[in-house]
């Protein structure tokens, strides 16, 4: 066993690396928690943690004042740098329209003060109601604007005034995604809030008119398709009626039916043919028939009703007709005529036989 003598040099130890939780904390949540109207408590704690980790909390709360004097000194440069970094951290958390007034400030302390006044007011439920109102598609846009105005007036009565710019931004942000084009149009132009309200109401009226035209067009498409089906059914009925020149041939076929494998119209099934024509018209047009009956125009309603009654008449009439593998069932009048002709031929044959002389 070897022993270390006093003359031996000490073993060199590697330098101790100090951990830096500040950088780890800043990189783990670079942008922080996004501030909304319902998570102020959680977002406030996240802001405090990130600002304290960077050594910017005193500048944010105003505890670290701006150095006096107008000369550019190293202390002033350092304070301005801290203030700008603190403002950047706050903006990363509140990148939304709820804190538009806070973005106007040029100092982190004033920005933080505005946030406290905004979210720690005497009546936070009313403020949350104002920021959570959303316009529902196909609802009354005028009623939605009136609700926003009413909440704004109540907040002003509690010494919480809301500027026209913030109110306009809140109104546009409450629109659904289908209004993105209108929202972008209003935001890119310097338009007064009264004019924007008029633009939104005109857009709502245009959309309602387009919806009516769409329903009327779908109703006309259904009517046109059903007329085509009825016309096709009539053509098939006319083809089944025997012509005068082919009457003798039809009688022969009725007396001596052939075992032809070619399917007839009735053997194929008239109902199946009607279904095929309806599918050719389009499933969407048939599904829009329910909307057709709710239209306010009386003329499309009467046309649709008459066509529907005629369509049901042909379907019911054809469904009652018997289908056999041997051919078409003949009408009673034609059968009686055929029997009379056969009886007449038999009588003439009997009379033409030679008489027995015995």
Q: Which of the two residues, 52 and 26, has the higher pLDDT score?
A: 52
This model's pTM is above 0.85: no
Question: Lowest mean pLDDT: which of 52-56, 126-130, 179-183, 331-335?
Answer: 331-335
Inform me whether the pLDDT recorded for 167 exceeds 80: yes
Inform me whether the pLDDT recorded for 266 exceeds 50: no
Residue 342: pLDDT band (50, 70, 90) is: low
Selection from 101, 148, 104, 103 nearest residue 121 by Cα: 101
Beta-carbon contacts of residue 93 (< 8 Å; ≥ 6 apart): 31, 32, 33, 34, 35, 43, 46, 47
Task: State mean pLDDT over 160-181.
Answer: 83
The predicted structure's pLDDT at residue 81: 92
What number of CA atoms fall less than 13 Å from residue 124's CA on the CB side? Answer: 13
The predicted structure's pLDDT at residue 298: 40
Q: How far is CA 188 from the centre of its chain?
A: 25
The predicted structure's pLDDT at residue 69: 78
200-243 pLDDT, tens digit each: 888 888 888 777 777 777 777 777 777 777 777 777 777 766 55
- Tokens 């004097």 — which residue? 69
Inform me whether the pLDDT recorded for 21 exceeds 60: no
Selection from 114, 118, 138 nearest residue 127 by Cα: 118
Q: Which of the two residues, 12 and 55, has the higher pLDDT score?
A: 55
Is 87:114 a contact under the CB 8 Å cutoff?
no
Inform me whether the pLDDT recorded for 82 exceeds 80: yes
328 bridge partner residues: 323
Beta-carbon contacts of residue 204 (< 8 Å; ≥ 6 apart): 141
C-alpha 185/C-alpha 332 separation (Å) is 74
The predicted structure's pLDDT at residue 252: 53
Task: State mean pLDDT over 45-68.
Answer: 89
Domain coordinates of the chain in residue numbers? 23-119, 124-190, 208-240+265-322
The predicted structure's pLDDT at residue 159: 78
Write the DSSP assignment of 164-218 as a string of letters.
HHHHHHHHHHTS-GGGHHHHHHHHTS---HHHHHHHHHHHHHHHHHHHHHHHHHH
């Amino acid at each position: 066993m070897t022993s270390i003598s006093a003359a031996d040099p000490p073993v060199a130890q590697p330098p101790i690396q100090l951990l830096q939780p500040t950088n780890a904390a800043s990189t783990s949540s670079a942008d922080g928690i996004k501030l909304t109207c319902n998570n102020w408590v959680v977002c406030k704690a996240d802001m405090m943690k990130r600002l304290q980790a960077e050594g910017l909390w005193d500048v944010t709360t105003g505890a670290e004042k701006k150095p006096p004097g107008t000369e550019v000194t190293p202390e002033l440069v350092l304070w301005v740098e801290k203030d700008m970094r603190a403002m950047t951290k706050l903006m990363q958390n509140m990148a939304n329209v709820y804190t538009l007034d806070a973005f106007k400030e040029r100092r982190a302390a004033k920005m933080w003060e505005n946030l406290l006044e905004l979210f720690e007011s005497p009546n936070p439920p009313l403020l949350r109601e104002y920021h959570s109102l959303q316009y529902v598609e196909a609802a009354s846009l005028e009623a939605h604007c009136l609700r926003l105005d009413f909440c704004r007036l109540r907040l002003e009565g509690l010494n919480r005034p809301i500027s026209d710019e913030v109110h306009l931004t809140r109104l546009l942000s409450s629109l659904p995604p289908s209004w993105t084009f209108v929202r972008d149009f209003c935001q890119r132009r310097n338009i007064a809030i009264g004019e924007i309200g008029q633009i939104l109401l005109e857009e709502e009226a245009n959309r309602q008119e387009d919806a009516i035209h769409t329903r009327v067009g779908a109703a006309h498409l259904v009517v046109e398709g059903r007329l085509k089906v009825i016309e096709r059914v009539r053509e098939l009925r006319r083809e089944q009626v025997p012509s005068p020149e082919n009457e003798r041939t039809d009688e022969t076929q009725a007396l001596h039916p052939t075992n032809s494998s070619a399917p007839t119209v009735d053997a194929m099934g008239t109902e199946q043919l009607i279904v095929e024509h309806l599918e050719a018209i389009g499933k969407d047009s048939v599904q829009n028939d329910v909307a057709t009956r709710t239209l306010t125009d009386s003329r499309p309603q009467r046309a649709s009703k008459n066509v529907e009654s005629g369509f049901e008449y042909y379907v019911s009439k054809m469904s009652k007709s018997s289908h056999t593998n041997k051919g078409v069932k003949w009408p009673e009048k034609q059968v009686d005529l055929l029997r009379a002709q056969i009886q007449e031929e038999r009588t003439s044959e009997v009379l033409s036989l030679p008489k027995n002389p015995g």
